[in-house]
Amino acid sequence: MKIVVLSGGTGTPKLLIGFKKVVEETSLGIIVNTAEDVWVSGNKVCPDIDSVIYALSGEIDTKKWWGIRDDSFLTNTWLKSLGYEEPLMIGDKDRATHILRSEMLRKGLSLTETTKILAKTYGVTASILPMTEHEVATMISTPEGVMHFQEFWVGRKGEPEVIDVFIRGIEGAEPTEEVIRAIETCDAVVIGPSNPVTSIGPILSLKGVKELLKEKLVVAVSPFLGDKPFSGPAGKFMTAKGFEPSSRGILEYYKDIINWLVLDHSDTLLKGITVSDNYRKIRVVKTNTVMKSRENSIRLAEFIVNLFDEDV
């Protein structure tokens, strides 16, 4: 079974660790958000692509869910002592990934090509596909002005009030051919438990992607437990976009494209929901969606594959 997963950089990589055990890794196509990418100290950092590569290669730091485990920060701290503070904390090994990527980009390779090479170098056999080759950036509108997602989340620790979220450059941005082919030829699509506005939203906003998904079996896993996200700023962003910051809001956000919504079994928000004519025939199903261990991730991936098996 060929499965395509739409991914950001925290919730979905946790789930991918499970998928790797449940299906053939080579049958996985992972379409990854690039709207949080940023150049730092001369190198291109693709936080979500890196986290997917590190999760699948077993290198990810599972305490922070970004970067490489047991990494050192010598360059980052030495730069600070020289009077230059980097906008992101970058580990030394992690930086090596960014240097390799940037050297390839400077030689004229595309982001898709560099990602393929990096994934292979890390021993990953799933296809990791950047969503687009176009430059797009998630911008956060706050009372203090408009700032890049990384400045908001890392620099300002997510504290400013969020007035709006928009993806700069998304008009006219197209998915890559590899992304289109992956969706067209897969048996099912998983929207991972990632931030709907800043991680999945950019992928869905690319020209033609929603239309392609409407032809597929699609399951979304909620990144919310009731009215609280498991982590991160998803609640603030959903509110800014006019959605309820909850599992109910997730159902509304994805209503045009999903066939199933997976919620945690302790989530009572959608109890007794009537899925009206406004919705596709969406089944709300429940299981344990908290991924605190590898076993949790494997069980959730099995649950999702069983949904598809029942339907096919």
What does each C-alpha distance from 79 to 35, 106, 154 come to in angstroms?
A: 26, 23, 18
Find the binder of ligand GDP among 11, 91, 201, 249 (CB under 6 A).
11
- Closest distance of CB 101 from ligand GDP, Å: 17
CB nearer to ligand GDP: give 11 or 175: 11
Confirm or reject binding of residue 229 to ligand GDP (CB under 6 A): yes
CA-CA distance, 229 to 145, in Å (whole number)?
25
Question: By CB under 6 A, what part of segment 230-259 binds ligand GDP?
Answer: 230-232, 234
Confirm or reject binding of residue 132 to ligand GDP (CB under 6 A): no
Question: What's the CA angle centered on 124, arms 260 and 195, to 5 degrees?
Answer: 40
Confirm or reject binding of residue 291 to ligand GDP (CB under 6 A): yes
Q: Buried b vs exposed e over 161-176: b needs ≥16 C-beta within 10 Å?
A: ebeebbbeebeebebb
Phi, psi of 140 (to 5 degrees): -115, 125
Confirm or reject binding of residue 138 to ligand GDP (CB under 6 A): no
Find the binder of ligand GDP among 4, 5, 6, 9 (CB under 6 A).
9
Evaluate whether 199 touches 31 at the Cβ level (below 8 Å): no
- Closest distance of CB 65 from ligand GDP, Å: 7
Confirm or reject binding of residue 104 to ligand GDP (CB under 6 A): no
Choose among 237, 279, 245: nearest CA to 260: 279
Question: By CB under 6 A, what part of segment 172-211 binds ligand GDP?
Answer: 193-195, 198-199
Residues in Cβ contact with 242 at an 8 Å cutoff, skipping those fewer than 6 apart: none
Choose among 53, 58, 50, 46: nearest CA to 21: 58
Helices and strands of the chain, counted as H and E runs: 12, 14
Question: By CB under 6 A, what part of segment 25-54 binds ligand GDP?
Answer: 36, 48
- Closest distance of CB 83 from ligand GDP, Å: 29
- Closest distance of CB 10 from ligand GDP, Å: 3
- Closest distance of CB 242 from ligand GDP, Å: 18
CB nearer to ligand GDP: give 181 or 299: 299
Write out the residues near ligand GDP by the rule CB under 6 A.
8-12, 14, 36, 48, 193-195, 198-199, 221, 223, 229-232, 234, 289-291
